[in-house]
Chain A
């Protein structure tokens, strides 16, 4: 059970809320309070648009515990329109194959059950092929 951690990360997980550096305007995800670009303090919240493209990907057949109910699934490096690259599952592809450069958008989905069916349900961001431009 990691209830405190789930609670602390909810904003970034549910809505892709990161930070923007007040000094150099670099957009930061995940939030780390220090700008990786200029090294200054960066604590201003910034909600990412959720739009991006697949930078690289791999498909998982043998999943870590807690994630095995949804195999097989694809994990991608997604380059967000605002710059940062995030690691996330892809979802809702149907028969659409994954391709590098594929435009994707963020959706909030069920990640896993924490523990068993008595534990809390963990929600977070995934990406899917863009529904509509």
Chain B
């Protein structure tokens, strides 16, 4: 056993950075958890959420990322050619080989003088891209970088994950702190090799390591990341107006919030899983958009993601007085959530390509 020598160290760029634009996307269709239960359990048993968002037949991570990116650009009010990176984190990229990010960059006019790449780390691929964007802008290599977390998650028919595997996400543009709607004071990441959830290349649906999904994975990593970040920042739960945690179901984020000392009121605007499902790489980030749609100047926000395999990124964020004037320049997250058409299980099966056609 090697004892770690380095004490937890905050990631803090030499040049201060923040969020200069943000945009959410949630597809229109909804599948109620009780409809999944009707088909698989005769309607019996507890339900992990109310309903989840389902993408239409012509949607995927590329189209959804483009819309979130356009919303972020509308709020940032920068020229797309000023973006020096377009990074997309997802576990449902439409191609196994061919980047999502180049097509998104092309659609928003950011090509060709830019970085573009797809990120993969289960549900924390999006926040990992945010940390990288902090580094790119914070080092002065570029003024603006876009990081997206977006997913169209699949659950095996009848599996516990089918109730919650949703679709949606958000795009963030990082830039200099002095232009930011919210300054990122610091971040901290906590990562170990943990066998809680995976999908092999040829498998259509993921597998989960049953008893590994809760305590040693979700709760351990989020708690460690949040605690180290707050200790090193000299803060505690009461210093934050709002907090958002990765949300695979309704219960997990509520429980981890309580353990860390956060109230229901602090997590409510960012707790979207009951009405859109688990959006995987998009989950913590779209929760943050829900908070940004409501927060006031001076509010402090804690965001902690979690990705299986496993790791958590924690962020300490401070809202500036520039947010208020920008938030109405694009649809709010609640505008997408309220736009809903309920579908039955049969329609869901068609929309998600679960029918064998040949």
Contacts and interface: CB of A to CB of B under 8 A. Distances in A.
Contact of B58 (A11, A15, A126): A126
Given A15-B109, A109-B58, A126-B58, A131 B63 contact: no
B103 A14 contact: yes
Interface stretch (A18-26, A36-44, A77-85, A87-95): A87-95
A109 B59 contact: yes
A131 B95 contact: no
A111 interface: yes
A110 B67 CA distance: 13
Contact of A70 (B58, B95, B331, B341): B58
Nearest to A71: B57
Contacts of A121: 60, 62, 94-95
A102 interface: no
Contacts of B62: 110, 121, 123
B109 A69 contact: no
A10 interface: yes
Nearest to B109: A15
Interface in A86-117: 89, 91-92, 94-95, 107-111
Residue of B56, B58, B107 with highest tally of chain A CB at under 10 A = B58
B109 A131 contact: no
Contact of B56 (A15, A91, A120, A132): A91
A131 B106 CA distance: 23
Given A70-B58, A131-B331, A131-B336, A108 B28 contact: no
Given A15-B108, A70-B58, A108 B66 contact: yes
B63 A110 contact: yes
Given A14-B66, A15-B109, A121-B94, 15 more contacts: A10-B106, A11-B106, A14-B103, A15-B107, A92-B28, A92-B56, A94-B340, A107-B63, A108-B63, A110-B57, A110-B62, A121-B95, A123-B62, A131-B336, A132-B335
> Which 8 residue pairs are nearest across A and B when measured between Cβ atoms?
A94-B341, A14-B107, A109-B58, A110-B58, A132-B331, A70-B57, A108-B66, A92-B28
Interface of A: 10-11, 14-15, 47, 69-70, 89, 91-92, 94-95, 107-111, 120-121, 123, 126, 131-132
